[in-house]
Amino acid sequence: MNWNFAVPFARNQHGQFVDVDQVPSGAGCNCVCDACEQPVAARKFKFCEKEDHFYHLKEASCYNPYETVIRKVIFQELDKAKMIYLPEVEFRYSKSREPKIILPHGKMTVDAVELRPRSEHHLPDILLHKNVGLSDGQPQMRTLALAIVPHGSIDRHVAAGCSVLELKVSRMTKLDQVAALLTNNANGKTWLHHAKLAQIKEDLAVRLLPGIYYHGRGFNIPDCPRVRDGEVAANCDICPYSGGTLQGSDQPCLGHNRPALDAFLKKYRDAP
Longest dimension (CA), the chain: 80
| Same-domain pairing of 86 and 113 | yes
> Domain tally for the chain?
3
Highest mean pLDDT among 86-95, 135-144, 180-189, 224-233 belongs to 180-189
Give the pLDDT score at 84. 96
Least trusted range by pLDDT, from 51-60, 148-157, 258-267: 258-267
Number of neighbours of residue 259 by Cβ within 10 angstroms: 7
Q: How would residue 149 be classed by pLDDT, with cut points 50, 70 and 90?
A: confident
The one-letter code for the residue type at 200 is: I
Task: Decide if pLDDT at 247 tops 50.
Answer: no
Q: How does 195-217 read in b/e, with b if 16+ C-beta sit within 10 Å?
A: bbbeebeeebeeebeeebbebeb
| Same-domain pairing of 145 and 243 | no
Phi, psi of 218 (to 5 degrees): 175, -165
Owning domain of residue 72: 68-193
Predicted structure pTM score: 0.76
Q: How far apart are CA 87 and CA 166, in angstroms?
A: 11
Q: How would residue 130 be classed by pLDDT, with cut points 50, 70 and 90?
A: very high
Domain end point (choices 193, 216, 248): 193
| Same-domain pairing of 96 and 184 | yes
| Same-domain pairing of 108 and 127 | yes
Q: How far apart are CA 115 and CA 129, in angstroms?
A: 11
Q: How would residue 181 be classed by pLDDT, with cut points 50, 70 and 90?
A: very high
